[in-house]
Amino acid sequence: MLVVPPSQAAPPQAVPLSTSVAGSAIDFPASYPFQPVLETVPDNPADASIARGALPYDEIAPTLNGFMAETDVVSAQVVGESANGWDIHLVTVTAPETAQETAQQARWRDEVKHDAAAAADDEELQAGYKRPIWFNGNIHGNEWEGTDASLNYIEWLVENENTPYVQDLLEHYRLYFTVSNNPDGRIVGTRANGQNLDLNRDFVTNQAAETRIVRDLTAFIQPIFFIDLHGYTGVLQIEPCGPPHGENYDYDLFIGHAYAAALQIEQDVVAAEIPGNTYRDSVTGATSTTKTDTSGIIIPFRDTPDGWDDWPPVFTAQYVAYQGAISYTAELPLGRVSNPETNKANSAVDTAVGFQVIDSTMDYVVENGDAILANQIEIFRRGAAGEPLRTLEVGLDAATIDGPTQWVELWDQGDANGHDLLTGARFPRGYVIPVGDGQRSDSDAAHLVDFLVTHGIEVSRATAAFTSDGVTHPAGSYVVDMHQPLRGLANALLAAGSDISSWVPSMYDISAWSHGYLWGATVTPVGSTTDAELPVPTVAVSGATPTGGLPGAGGYLTFELDGVDDFAGLNALLVDDVPASLVGTGTVVLGNDTATYAAAQEVADEYGVAFRTTSGTELTGADVKPLDELQVAYTGTQDDRLTLSALGFAPEQLTLVSGATLQSAAVTLDDADVLWIGSALTVSPTTQPVAYAEVSDFVAAGKGVAGRGAAASTFATTWYDAQATAVTGNGSGNGVVRLDTVADGVLGALGTEYGFVYPAVSFALAESGHGRVEQTYGTDPLVSGHWRETTATNGPSYAAGRASVYSAELDSGARAVVFGTAVAFRGHPRGHFSEVATALYWTAPAATQDVLTAPVATTTTLALTAGSAVHGGTPAGAVVKVTAASGTASRRGTVEIREDGRLVATGAVNAYGNAKVALPADLAVGEHALVATYLPAPGAALVPSSSGAVTYTVTAAPATVTATVTGSTYGTPAKVAVRVTSPAGTPTGTVRVTVGSSAPITATLVGGAVTVALPATLAVRTHAVTVAYAGDAVTAPAQASTSVTVVRAATTTGLALSRAKVARGGAVTATAVVRVPSASGVAPVGVVKLRVDGTVVATRTLTAADRGRVTFTLPKGATSKRGARAVTVSFAGSSTLLSSVSAARTLTVV
């Protein structure tokens, strides 16, 4: 179960609904027909097809051009080139489509795979989707007739395109034909392609361009039915296969129609009575050209209990089946013979039989296409839903089976193995391909991710760290969520597989493979398919994130040889004459010159090599080997050549040798640095003296050998005194095995835990020899595969604990490494390739020219011109002195002044090792422990060094505070304008303004200034004012004093009479209003007097409650006489307010 912190958990992001294949170079038509004029090639009278009576390759393009000129139902395009550069053609036969219709077909195809639940109920899709059917011809070059049968069937469709049957067929189906999948082999009459690869074994490795083309076409076409046309089995053979059946298939959705279609093909082929065809008697098993009531063909599911299985997806048909197709191999009957006429006659029969196979297949599909499509949709739906595989037990009841049931009575325990409750495959919830410390090889992991996505496997990257089974994987780790349409293919590639040794007596081909165990990367299965959604936030990827990187120039460079691309990058550097040394067996050190950095950048970009800087002191150790470009002489097959090529060795670095070619002097070992033994190299001093002398001189020169199997062990024992006894396991035994690698041995840096054998070779080493065990088979070696013990010494129990790899070293220094594992098998077990490369570099002699110089040690000292400085003021200078052990070397370079790793300052060091660097004036206030690090100039063979720490104190800059007071009348707040200045810049922070003993007022500086309002109620007098600045990170505290004098506030007094004229003795009121203009909020308090003609006639005292207003009633004496009277009021003032008198008001008494 996966665990992430709740704050990081998020639903996985959906992968876009697209069948596009990452890296595919094929451009598919936007509408049909698509009819370019195909390029033709000159006639080739030497084409091996002619002797067979088959169509020569040079006539394929003209034939297709002729079809396209005649009709609009035939389209053809070049989908790639073979190893030798011949065009590979894809023909599509279907009714014409507009661009909109073709786009709709693509949307329906994507819905079938990526939204299968909706597709199952999509009536428009069911009615309008053209079911794709695909026929692949001539993948084995000397099995010609699949091409001829396909072209004959296309011709038949063209000739009958106006018939109701063909018109209906092409309206509802697309028929695809890869006419010749292997032009190289067709032309020269070989099974293999131009690389000498058997293409029909390459689908989980994809070394060949031809299989990469089929891989990409598989995703694009997404066929519901696929037939791969082969030959020759004496009698037509049509799959489905016998047991064991691939454990990762939804076999319940495959076997029904696969077997029923085979039965129809059998019926039709027998009924056709093709002259010269052969039949298998269903009672006796005999082969005859005479048709009887018991005549039939071979159907391995029915007729072959072992030895013709559909277990590994290395075959075309078994690979395509993972796209939900009914998919099988058709083996045409009559093979190659020496008699020319019989050979051609056989070809004619096979072509006719192949035509009938195609025609019968189409008849079956037309009758059952809806059901077959429904099964394909259901396969993808189950995958996306993560449902467990359905079990198929022995004793099935046909009444419970949907679809054809003819197969049910044949289903026995041999078939049920891998599909019943006991032995069936169980999918994990996902696979994690970690990055970082938990990954054995980041470059191998990246290669694996890229490989998976080219096969349409959905891969995502975790956007947050997560924990699985107690192991925390960092963000960026790759996740293969097994709830996906191609979960069967994903598991077939990543799982270990099963030990099937007890299931069947023999297998047709390999019994185990595993990218998760054999490709060098750490891959971890997680949980069960029935678990809930993976609680890992992810984002879908279309390829791996580049792993390469190069640090800034300065130091020596180093990288680890963790994966195949790391070794390829090393070879590229050596080919470019970049001086390099191997430290131990897994670390490479390069120089620090400009040319090396430029070459390293190219290697980082192209091969994903992750460089780091280093001091170069590793070069002074004991286990250091200078390296040079390797010239490799080798024996063996294409497996050995392609393995060496994968490690970066170019053709000009590889020389194929044999005893015969060495004897004839066609080749020599003079320029070879190391010898790889993939097959026997035995030379006799009596019958092959020249060859013997070549090998003898090679070993005497201290040159080494590495190789595989008993042949390499014989060579190492003969020439390197290994004194090893090799024991070869069961010749057909193959599988994934457990390995224990000696930690301090030649392969210890790789720490390989799993390997591949076919067969296993184990070794015993005599104590008297020079051999040393480097790796052993585990105590229970077989993880998966088929490896039976048929003698006392050929099974896994005998190999357990015995040496799987050994080394030998003569006193002269000549070395050998021998592998008992199948390190080069079909170019598949990439994890072994790094072992091969390690062995080659370990056994090769050390370079003697252009050797990388070990750097000279240096000493760096640091002194300061002053131990302290004021922040923002004049800083101290750093005086650096670099000395070298040699005493004379130029010490040009750079010095970096750092504090706790943080760069403070940098400067140039002159040839004499001197530098003076001004420290920055803006260093933070406080103590700084400064260290000077010397970095030699590029190309200087000097070791970087660092000084001891020197303390440098930065003090706060002084501050100046100025305070200016404005406004000092009672009731009106006085303001203090504060400004703080400093040579370090504009101070920040706060000031506190205190008036006398009252509470301080705090304010924040803005731009070094702030204005503070004092209380309006300050008493009338002079007050002391203190302004204190608190300081900031770089400015010291400071303060200033001033004062504020508060004076009494001015007042105004107003008077209003209730009447201006009054009868003698009448009543009059006078209202006085006293105000403080400068402070409206102050309520006047004090004595107010009313005067008539200057005589006080009334007195009142204002209180705060009066709010400055008081009303008098004039005494009667003031109105007793007629005439004009002058009335005034006056405010006497107070301790805070000045006095004031109103203007006189005239009162007339009548």
218 SS3 class: helix
User: Which of the following is catalytic: 111, 247, 331, 694?
Assistant: 331
Nearest in space to 560 (alpha carbons), one of 588, 580, 590:
588
Q: Which burial class, exposed, middle or buried, applies to 98 when counting CB atoms under 10 A from its CB (0-12, 13-18, 19+)?
A: exposed
According to DSSP, the residues that pair with 338 across neighbouring strands are none
Tokens encoding 613 = 């800087």
For residues 42 and 57, what is the distance between their CA atoms, to the nearest angstrom?
10
Q: Phi/psi at 462 (nearest 5 deg)?
A: -75, 130
In eight-state DSSP terms, residue 246 is P
Q: For residues 970 and 1138, give the distance between their C-alpha atoms in angstroms, rounded to a whole number.
A: 11
Q: How many CB atoms lie within 10 A of CB 522?
A: 18
Name the residue type at position 922.
Answer: D
Token pair recorded at residue 941: 């063979």
Phi, psi of 323 (to 5 degrees): -90, 15
CB-based contact 15:540 (threshold 8 Å): yes
3-class SS at 983? coil
The two three-digit tokens of residue 452, written as one number: 């998976």
CB 621 within 8 A of CB 950: no
Which one, of 826, 823, 777, lies nearest residue 804 by Cα?
777
Of 560, 340, 543, whose CA–CA distance to 442 is shortest? 560
Nearest residue to 765 (alpha-carbon basis) of 734, 720, 796: 720
Could you tell me which residues come within 8 angstroms of residue 239 by beta carbon, excluding any fewer than 6 positions away? 258, 262, 299, 300, 301, 308, 310, 317, 328, 329, 330
Among candidate residues 372, 366, 346, 368, the one with its CA nearest the CA of residue 236: 346
**Using CA atoms, how far apart are residues 79 and 86, in angstroms rounded to an integer?**
11
The answer to whether residue 331 is catalytic is yes
Classify residue 189 as left (phi > 0), alpha (psi -120 to 50) or beta: left
The β-bridge relationship of strands 326-332 and 225-231 is parallel
Report CA Rg, the chain.
47
Q: What stretches of 700-820 adopt beta strand conformation (E)?
A: 704-708, 724-728, 734-741, 754-757, 761-765, 771-786, 803-809, 815-819
Strands (E), 116-184: 131-137, 173-178
CA distances from 745 to 586, 742, 748, 807, 843 (A): 11, 5, 5, 9, 13
What tokens were used for 1009? 């200034």
Could you tell me which of 148, 122, 127, 141 has the C-alpha nearest to residue 60? 148
Check: CB of residue 588 under 8 Å from CB of residue 582.
yes
List the structure tokens of 822: 């199948």
For residue 759, cis peptide bond before it (omega within 30 degrees of 0): yes
Q: 879 burial class (0-12, 13-18, 19+ CB within 10 angstroms)?
A: middle
Verify cis geometry, omega within 30 degrees of 0, for the bond prior to 525. Answer: no
Q: What angle separates helix 442-454 from helix 830-843, to the nearest 10 degrees?
A: 140
Find out whether 236 and 333 touch, Cβ atoms under 8 Å: yes
Contact 827, 646 (CB under 8 A): yes
Q: By the 8 A CB rule, do 954 and 1036 touch?
A: no
Pairing state between β 624-627 and 580-583? antiparallel
| Distance from chain centroid for Cα 744 | 31
Q: Catalytic residue numbers?
A: 331
